[in-house]
Protein backbone atom coordinates (compact mmCIF):
# COMPACT_ATOMS: atom_id res chain seq x y z
CA UNK A 1 0.00 0.00 0.00
CA UNK A 2 2.69 2.51 0.98
CA UNK A 3 4.71 1.66 -2.12
CA UNK A 4 1.65 2.34 -4.29
CA UNK A 5 1.07 5.68 -2.59
CA UNK A 6 4.69 6.69 -3.04
CA UNK A 7 4.58 5.70 -6.71
CA UNK A 8 1.43 7.76 -7.34
CA UNK A 9 3.10 10.87 -5.97
CA UNK A 10 6.57 10.20 -7.42
CA UNK A 11 6.16 8.66 -10.88
CA UNK A 12 5.93 10.50 -14.15
CA UNK A 13 7.92 12.62 -16.52
CA UNK A 14 10.63 15.09 -15.57
CA UNK A 15 10.88 17.95 -18.02
CA UNK A 16 14.40 19.23 -18.60
CA UNK A 17 15.33 21.94 -21.09
CA UNK A 18 12.20 24.05 -20.65
CA UNK A 19 13.09 24.43 -17.00
CA UNK A 20 16.52 26.01 -17.32
CA UNK A 21 15.21 29.56 -17.00
CA UNK A 22 13.07 28.58 -14.01
CA UNK A 23 15.97 26.86 -12.27
CA UNK A 24 18.09 29.95 -12.81
CA UNK A 25 15.49 32.08 -11.07
CA UNK A 26 15.48 29.61 -8.20
CA UNK A 27 19.12 30.36 -7.45
CA UNK A 28 17.98 33.61 -5.86
CA UNK A 29 16.12 31.84 -3.04
CA UNK A 30 19.06 32.19 -0.64
CA UNK A 31 19.46 35.94 -1.30
CA UNK A 32 16.21 37.13 0.24
CA UNK A 33 16.07 40.89 0.77
CA UNK A 34 13.97 41.01 3.94
CA UNK A 35 14.38 44.76 4.35
CA UNK A 36 12.98 45.36 0.86
CA UNK A 37 10.03 43.07 1.56
CA UNK A 38 9.25 44.94 4.78
CA UNK A 39 9.45 48.27 2.98
CA UNK A 40 7.15 47.10 0.19
CA UNK A 41 4.71 45.60 2.70
CA UNK A 42 4.43 48.96 4.46
CA UNK A 43 4.19 51.00 1.25
CA UNK A 44 1.79 48.79 -0.67
CA UNK A 45 -0.39 47.19 2.00
CA UNK A 46 -0.01 49.09 5.27
CA UNK A 47 0.87 48.45 8.90
CA UNK A 48 -0.96 45.13 9.23
CA UNK A 49 0.95 43.63 6.32
CA UNK A 50 4.22 44.92 7.73
CA UNK A 51 3.50 43.15 11.03
CA UNK A 52 2.88 39.90 9.15
CA UNK A 53 6.12 40.17 7.17
CA UNK A 54 8.06 41.01 10.35
CA UNK A 55 6.52 37.94 12.04
CA UNK A 56 7.42 35.83 8.99
CA UNK A 57 11.01 37.08 9.17
CA UNK A 58 11.12 36.17 12.87
CA UNK A 59 9.74 32.72 12.02
CA UNK A 60 12.64 32.21 9.63
CA UNK A 61 15.20 33.46 12.15
CA UNK A 62 13.78 31.27 14.92
CA UNK A 63 13.48 28.17 12.73
CA UNK A 64 16.80 28.20 10.89
CA UNK A 65 18.53 25.79 13.27
CA UNK A 66 15.59 23.39 13.72
CA UNK A 67 15.28 19.87 12.35
CA UNK A 68 13.41 19.67 9.06
CA UNK A 69 10.27 18.13 10.57
CA UNK A 70 10.09 21.06 12.98
CA UNK A 71 10.57 23.51 10.13
CA UNK A 72 7.67 21.91 8.29
CA UNK A 73 5.39 22.21 11.29
CA UNK A 74 6.38 25.80 12.07
CA UNK A 75 5.89 26.99 8.51
CA UNK A 76 2.65 25.09 8.00
CA UNK A 77 1.17 26.44 11.23
CA UNK A 78 2.30 30.01 10.57
CA UNK A 79 0.42 30.36 7.29
CA UNK A 80 -2.59 28.20 8.19
CA UNK A 81 -3.24 30.18 11.37
CA UNK A 82 -2.35 33.69 10.22
CA UNK A 83 -3.73 33.88 6.65
CA UNK A 84 -7.38 33.55 5.62
CA UNK A 85 -8.58 31.41 2.75
CA UNK A 86 -10.28 33.48 0.04
CA UNK A 87 -10.76 32.84 -3.65
CA UNK A 88 -8.90 34.73 -6.35
CA UNK A 89 -12.16 36.42 -7.29
CA UNK A 90 -12.50 37.77 -3.75
CA UNK A 91 -8.90 39.00 -3.50
CA UNK A 92 -7.84 39.85 -7.06
CA UNK A 93 -11.10 39.91 -9.02
CA UNK A 94 -9.84 37.28 -11.44
CA UNK A 95 -10.20 33.55 -11.87
CA UNK A 96 -6.71 32.15 -11.37
CA UNK A 97 -3.97 34.35 -9.94
CA UNK A 98 -0.82 32.97 -8.29
CA UNK A 99 0.29 35.41 -5.60
CA UNK A 100 3.81 36.00 -4.41
CA UNK A 101 4.40 35.47 -0.68
CA UNK A 102 4.50 39.26 -0.26
CA UNK A 103 1.14 39.69 -2.00
CA UNK A 104 -0.27 36.79 0.02
CA UNK A 105 0.88 38.24 3.34
CA UNK A 106 0.01 41.75 2.22
CA UNK A 107 -3.64 40.89 1.56
CA UNK A 108 -3.75 38.50 4.51
CA UNK A 109 -5.73 36.10 2.34
CA UNK A 110 -5.39 33.80 -0.64
CA UNK A 111 -6.34 30.46 -2.13
CA UNK A 112 -4.64 27.06 -2.01
CA UNK A 113 -1.93 27.88 -4.57
CA UNK A 114 -0.94 30.96 -2.58
CA UNK A 115 -0.60 28.93 0.64
CA UNK A 116 1.54 26.34 -1.14
CA UNK A 117 3.82 28.86 -2.87
CA UNK A 118 4.42 30.74 0.40
CA UNK A 119 5.20 27.52 2.29
CA UNK A 120 7.47 26.24 -0.48
CA UNK A 121 9.45 29.47 -0.68
CA UNK A 122 9.77 29.75 3.10
CA UNK A 123 11.07 26.20 3.43
CA UNK A 124 13.55 26.83 0.61
CA UNK A 125 14.80 29.93 2.44
CA UNK A 126 15.17 27.71 5.53
CA UNK A 127 17.48 25.42 3.57
CA UNK A 128 15.15 22.52 2.78
CA UNK A 129 16.48 20.90 -0.40
CA UNK A 130 14.47 21.55 -3.54
CA UNK A 131 14.32 17.84 -4.43
CA UNK A 132 12.43 17.19 -1.19
CA UNK A 133 9.62 19.61 -2.03
CA UNK A 134 6.93 19.53 -4.70
CA UNK A 135 3.89 21.64 -5.34
CA UNK A 136 1.23 19.02 -6.07
CA UNK A 137 -1.98 19.56 -7.99
CA UNK A 138 -4.58 17.12 -6.71
CA UNK A 139 -8.25 16.31 -7.01
CA UNK A 140 -9.87 16.75 -3.61
CA UNK A 141 -13.05 14.82 -2.86
CA UNK A 142 -15.04 14.94 0.36
CA UNK A 143 -17.75 12.32 0.77
CA UNK A 144 -20.07 12.05 -2.21
CA UNK A 145 -19.37 15.53 -3.53
CA UNK A 146 -17.77 16.06 -6.92
CA UNK A 147 -13.94 16.32 -6.85
CA UNK A 148 -12.45 19.79 -7.05
CA UNK A 149 -9.02 21.05 -8.10
CA UNK A 150 -6.73 21.76 -5.18
CA UNK A 151 -3.01 22.25 -4.49
CA UNK A 152 -0.91 20.96 -1.59
CA UNK A 153 2.79 20.88 -0.76
CA UNK A 154 4.56 17.54 -0.58
CA UNK A 155 7.72 16.87 1.41
CA UNK A 156 9.80 13.78 0.57
CA UNK A 157 12.25 12.82 3.33
CA UNK A 158 13.66 10.26 0.87
CA UNK A 159 12.98 10.00 -2.85
CA UNK A 160 11.66 6.44 -2.48
CA UNK A 161 9.24 7.28 0.34
CA UNK A 162 5.71 8.60 0.25
CA UNK A 163 5.49 12.32 0.92
CA UNK A 164 3.89 14.07 3.84
CA UNK A 165 1.29 16.66 2.89
CA UNK A 166 1.07 20.30 3.96
CA UNK A 167 -2.46 21.53 3.28
CA UNK A 168 -4.26 24.75 4.18
CA UNK A 169 -7.48 22.76 4.71
CA UNK A 170 -5.96 20.44 7.34
CA UNK A 171 -4.08 21.74 10.36
CA UNK A 172 -1.80 18.72 10.82
CA UNK A 173 0.85 17.42 8.42
CA UNK A 174 -0.07 13.88 7.38
CA UNK A 175 1.45 11.14 5.22
CA UNK A 176 -0.12 10.88 1.78
CA UNK A 177 -1.52 7.46 2.71
CA UNK A 178 -3.65 9.19 5.36
CA UNK A 179 -5.14 11.54 2.76
CA UNK A 180 -7.38 9.28 0.64
CA UNK A 181 -9.39 12.41 -0.20
CA UNK A 182 -6.51 13.57 -2.44
CA UNK A 183 -5.64 12.15 -5.87
CA UNK A 184 -2.41 13.57 -7.38
CA UNK A 185 -2.58 14.89 -10.93
CA UNK A 186 0.87 16.40 -11.42
CA UNK A 187 3.60 17.98 -9.32
CA UNK A 188 6.42 20.43 -9.88
CA UNK A 189 9.15 22.52 -8.29
CA UNK A 190 11.83 24.80 -9.68
CA UNK A 191 13.63 21.83 -11.27
CA UNK A 192 10.95 19.85 -13.06
CA UNK A 193 7.42 18.65 -13.72
CA UNK A 194 6.10 15.19 -12.90
CA UNK A 195 2.79 13.85 -14.17
CA UNK A 196 1.37 11.52 -11.51
CA UNK A 197 0.97 7.93 -12.59
CA UNK A 198 1.78 8.57 -16.27
CA UNK A 199 4.72 7.59 -18.44
CA UNK A 200 4.51 10.61 -20.73
CA UNK A 201 3.48 14.22 -20.46
CA UNK A 202 -0.26 14.75 -20.72
CA UNK A 203 -0.01 18.45 -21.62
CA UNK A 204 2.38 21.12 -22.79
CA UNK A 205 4.41 21.96 -19.64
CA UNK A 206 5.18 25.46 -20.92
CA UNK A 207 1.47 26.24 -21.04
CA UNK A 208 0.77 24.47 -17.78
CA UNK A 209 3.42 26.33 -15.85
CA UNK A 210 3.39 29.83 -17.30
CA UNK A 211 1.87 31.14 -14.05
CA UNK A 212 4.69 29.51 -12.09
CA UNK A 213 7.36 31.23 -14.16
CA UNK A 214 5.46 34.51 -13.85
CA UNK A 215 5.18 34.30 -10.07
CA UNK A 216 8.89 33.44 -9.75
CA UNK A 217 9.73 36.58 -11.69
CA UNK A 218 7.44 38.72 -9.53
CA UNK A 219 8.90 37.19 -6.36
CA UNK A 220 12.37 38.20 -7.52
CA UNK A 221 11.16 41.79 -7.85
CA UNK A 222 9.71 41.61 -4.34
CA UNK A 223 13.09 40.68 -2.88
CA UNK A 224 12.93 36.88 -2.89
Could you list the mean pLDDT of each consecutive 10-residue stretch along the chain, which spans 224 residues? 61 40 42 93 97 98 97 98 97 95 98 98 96 94 89 92 95 96 91 65 54 90 93
What per-residue confidence (pLDDT) applies to 85?
97
CATH number of 175's domain: 3.10.620.30
Instruction: Find the largest Cα–Cα distance for the chain.
Output: 51
Counting every residue, how long is the chain?
224
Domain that holds residue 169: 2-222
pTM of the model: 0.86
The pLDDT of residue 16: 38
With vertex at residue 140, the alpha carbon angle to CA 139 and CA 142, rounded to the nearest 5 degrees, is: 145
C-alpha–C-alpha distance, residues 206 and 82, integer Å:
33
Closest CA to 51 of 64, 61, 41: 41
Q: What's the structural domain count of the chain?
A: 1
Amino acid sequence: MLANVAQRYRSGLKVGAAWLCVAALALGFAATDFDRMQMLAQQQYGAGALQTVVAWRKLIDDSSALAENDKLNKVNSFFNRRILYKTDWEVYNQEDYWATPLEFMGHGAGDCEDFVIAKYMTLRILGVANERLRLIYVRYQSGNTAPIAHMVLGYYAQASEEPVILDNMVSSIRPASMRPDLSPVYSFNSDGLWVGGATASSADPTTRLSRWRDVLDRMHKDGL
